[in-house]
Structure 1
Amino acid sequence: MMKKAWNVQDLIVFDDDNYTIINKPPFLSTLEDRNDPNNVLGLFRKENANYQVCHRLDKETSGVLILSKHEQAFKAAALQFQERTIEKIYHALVKGQFMNEVIQVDVPLRTSGSGKAIVDRRNGKEALTLFRPKQFFKGYTLVEAKPITGRTHQIRAHLAYLKFPICGDVLYDGEPIYLSTVKKNYKRKVDMDERPLFSRVGLHAHAIKLTNVNKNIISISCDYPKDMAIILKKLNKYS
């Protein structure tokens, strides 16, 4: 299977002397991936060797990602992440009808040897996320998540803790979306296995707000990638 050739200019949604902000596509790693030579940092360092990524998104997660162009900008962003003054909004697609209220999950997490985040109230690190339903569909909900801390897999683990794992998130028992689960009177073709409509982790980093080096506010939101836009359109249609 051929690897996709990424054009970095197509990914950029904001650019100045300090930061480049991109809309990361799914299946593109933030940092070096031994299974794939393409990654965000490697691609952008071909343009400017001083680039650093200011935070990370999981490989299957799409959306807004900040890169710094020089050390002062990197340190300024790092301090804001440390002080929790950067605002991040994610959208997650989950199976079932989510609670129709704001939910605060304050459950410590620890990363296991397998890379999975697990709840550990004794040895885990503080992890705090706010959730609220954004849109209800038949059998599914688009949930808005606002992570206050920044633990590995925090949103994924906290939604699984609430018994609403993200669609397609196999690591946390999230199921793919099939047409038979959303379309009334669906008839499967005889002797044919049904293929999922959506099978990756249904998580999108929708928006971010930070203070630039010059003290101006940068506020960016990113459109859904094609696959997520299509599945939301289908859920709308059959709801």
Structure 2
Amino acid sequence: MHLEETLLIPPECAGQRLDQALAKCWPDYSRSRIQDWIKSGEILLDGEVARPRATVLGGESVELLAEIEEAVAAVPQDIPLDIIYEDDAIIVLNKSPDIVVHPAAGNPDGTLVNALLFHDPSLVSVPRAGVVHRLDKQTSGVMVVAKTLAAHKILVENLAARKIRREYDTVVMGHVVAGGTVDAPIGRHPRDRQRQAVTATGKRAVTHYRVLQHYGEQTWLRVQLETGRTHQIRVHMAHIRHPVIGDPVYGGRPRIPPRASTALIDVLRHFERQALHARYLTLAHPVTGTQMRFEAPMPDDMRELIALLTEYRDNLHRRVTDEEDDDGDEAEVFYVRDDG
């Protein structure tokens, strides 16, 4: 993409280095990109190729003649997207659990990036095809994509500054007594490089969670990320001994509650992905600054899981009540744990 810009250095930038002044004049572009343009001779200062360490006095004319390279090597592919919202600056979509975000060795194509490039070919010039934050393979839910360099820069900065709020729904193993916070650093597993782990040498990671419903040996949680480490929710839930149901990497054998129906047993034993869904996303629009909130409906597989767990809990309560009514005494409870 060919880019042309012209401006006059404002007087208040006097005494600053050229790259510093231009970073203020062109907030849509990162300072590192501006420095690259200066080094490659694509910026003229008063008609001459600018020196990398030039100092400005104010009033100089600046001309930019640059080619923005393709930032993404993936090929466009006609893959359906579930778009929640779109305008000139952003796309908000509901990622299905069966699509990977970025091409990689095991998934060279058929990814969300391939689909985005087909939907909007101009995304080839935006880093990562505009993807601001990723979701793990087999995690579903709401994501935001920037359509311009300016929007991408602002959203990435806001994400780093924790100005973008993300909330997830997950069903985990075990009876989580109450909500809480996991503040434990995450890094590469010391022995298995394909996994993450809580490790003293990792980066700070903070996950907040609260209980939505108990189902005996399973709990439905609402989770909010304060940081955004790879596999963070899955690693932190496993760390507190409540791994996400269906997690192929950090989960364990499913816990089958007593007197569970055949349907519930089958779902718990064969849930085909981690039961993790990005439900809400709240952000300030990168152009207007308007606060916006988006929601992605829970996918069918998690709806079915929660429906069967709810049916199990209700039936168990009903059996206990019937036993109490029959003999007039408090029945021996085979299994009831419900604070909800």
Give 1:104 shift. Answer: 1.2
Correspondence for 2:259 among 179, 184, 197: 184
**Which has a greater percent of helix?**
2
Give 1:182 shift. Answer: 4.6
Give the match for residue 272 of structure 2: 199
Q: Is the partner of 1:228 in helix, strand or coil?
A: helix
Instruction: Answer with 54-63 or 226-235: which moved more.
Output: 226-235
Correspondence for 1:132 among 210, 215, 219: 210
Distance 1:43 1:233, change over 3 A: same
CA–CA separation in structure 2 for the residues paired with 1:220 and 1:7:
20
CA–CA separation in structure 1 for the residues paired with 2:252 and 2:260:
24
CA contact 2:260–2:312 (8 Å) conserved in 1: no
Correspondence for 1:108 among 149, 168, 185: 185
Give 1:127 shift. Answer: 0.6
Matched, 1:74 2:152: yes
Matched, 1:223 2:297: yes
Distance 1:144 1:187, change over 3 A: closer
CA contact 1:127–1:151 (8 Å) conserved in 2: yes
CA–CA separation in structure 2 for the residues paired with 1:111 and 1:27:
25
**Paired AA for residue 18 in structure 1:** A
CA contact 1:93–1:143 (8 Å) conserved in 2: yes
CA contact 1:22–1:66 (8 Å) conserved in 2: yes
Give the match for residue 191 of structure 1: none
Distance 1:219 1:34, change over 3 A: same
CA–CA separation in structure 1 for the residues paired with 2:181 and 2:257:
29
Q: Is the partner of 2:119 in helix, strand or coil?
A: coil
CA–CA separation in structure 1 for the residues paired with 2:86 and 2:260:
49
Superposition pairs of residues 39-118 of structure 1, within 5 angstroms? 39-49=111-121, 50=123, 51-100=129-178, 102-112=179-189, 114-118=193-197
**Paired AA for residue 116 in structure 1:** R
Matched, 1:234 2:308: yes
TM-score (norm 2): 0.62
Q: Residue deviations 1:43-65, cap 9 Å, x none? A: 01112121411110011100011
Give 1:211 shift. Answer: 0.5
Report which of the two structures shows the higher radius of gyration computed on alpha carbons. Answer: 2
Give 1:164 shift. Answer: 0.3
CA contact 2:279–2:295 (8 Å) conserved in 1: yes
Give the match for residue 99 of structure 2: 28
Q: Residue deviations 1:202-227, cap 9 Å, x none? A: 11111110100210111111111111
Q: Is the partner of 1:78 in helix, strand or coil?
A: helix
CA–CA separation in structure 2 for the residues paired with 1:150 and 1:126:
9
CA–CA separation in structure 2 for the residues paired with 1:186 and 1:19:
45
Q: Residue deviations 1:13-53, cap 9 Å, x none? A: 11111111111111200111444421111101112121411
**Paired AA for residue 22 in structure 1:** L
Q: Is the partner of 1:129 in helix, strand or coil?
A: strand
Q: Name structure 2 gaps, 5 residues minimum.
A: 1-77, 124-128, 314-340
Instruction: Answer with 211-220 or 47-56: which moved more.
Output: 47-56
Give the match for residue 147 of structure 1: 225
CA–CA separation in structure 2 for the residues paired with 1:172 and 1:185:
24
Q: Residue deviations 1:174-204, cap 9 Å, x none? A: 3357xxx25726579xxxxx67342311111
Distance 1:185 1:84, change over 3 A: closer
Q: Name structure 1 gaps, 5 residues minimum.
A: 189-193
**Paired AA for residue 110 in structure 1:** G
CA–CA separation in structure 2 for the residues paired with 1:115 and 1:103:
28
Q: Residue deviations 1:79-115, cap 9 Å, x none? A: 0111111111011111111122x31111111123523
CA–CA separation in structure 1 for the residues paired with 2:245 and 2:277:
12
Larger relative contact order (CA 8 Å, sep ≥ 6): 1
Matched, 1:209 2:209: no
Q: Identity over aligned residues, as a percent?
A: 28
Q: Is the partner of 1:184 in helix, strand or coil?
A: coil
**Paired AA for residue 103 in structure 2:** E
Distance 1:38 1:176, change over 3 A: farther
CA contact 1:87–1:210 (8 Å) conserved in 2: yes
Distance 1:67 1:176, change over 3 A: farther
Superposition pairs of residues 157-172 of structure 1, within 5 angstroms? 157-172=235-250
